[in-house]
Amino acid sequence: MTIPITVVDAFTDRPFAGNPAAVCLLERPRLDAWLQDVAREMNLPETAFLLPEEDGYRLRWFSPAMEIDLCGHATLASAHVLWERNLLDPVRQARFFTRSGLLTAEQKEAWIELDFPAEPARPVEPSFSLEEILGVPAFLAGKNRMDYLVEVPDEETVTDLQPDFAALAR
């Protein structure tokens, strides 16, 4: 049995640029261990797995190390593959059922517009360790269930940011 996997470079119109994601089209559910093995084998930032459901697709994302709660570029890649392979009418909204809720995508001329649920951040006190990891002072900080949001002094600070990625991963 052949299971199609497509590699898509998101956020670009050039091959080997942008942010790569693999998109795997499933005909039936697969064990989590199998999904993780495929993602590890693809060795891309994320591998998206699509399973048709009534009125949409079940969508799950896996990095080479674990399942991910939400991934924008792999969602964009998934919508692209559905429309490119004529699995979804170009005027129809793509609907994805995920661990983060319902996500949708629509074609807007040459673009794909994504709609994700809002994840408001609640204010938290910027900790010394967060500032040390980022390497910059934080004016304000917030946290939602997945991420921190940190306000820094200016755009140049963001551009020059060189965080300690190993510490962030921990």
Q: Which residues are catalytic?
A: 46
DSSP conformation letters of 2-28:
---EEEEEET-SSTT-SEEEEEEE-SS
Nearest to 114 by CA among 166, 35, 59: 59
Whether 163 and 136 have beta carbons less than 8 Å apart is answered as no
CA distance 147 to 107: 28
Kind of pairing between the strands at 19-25 and 140-143: unpaired
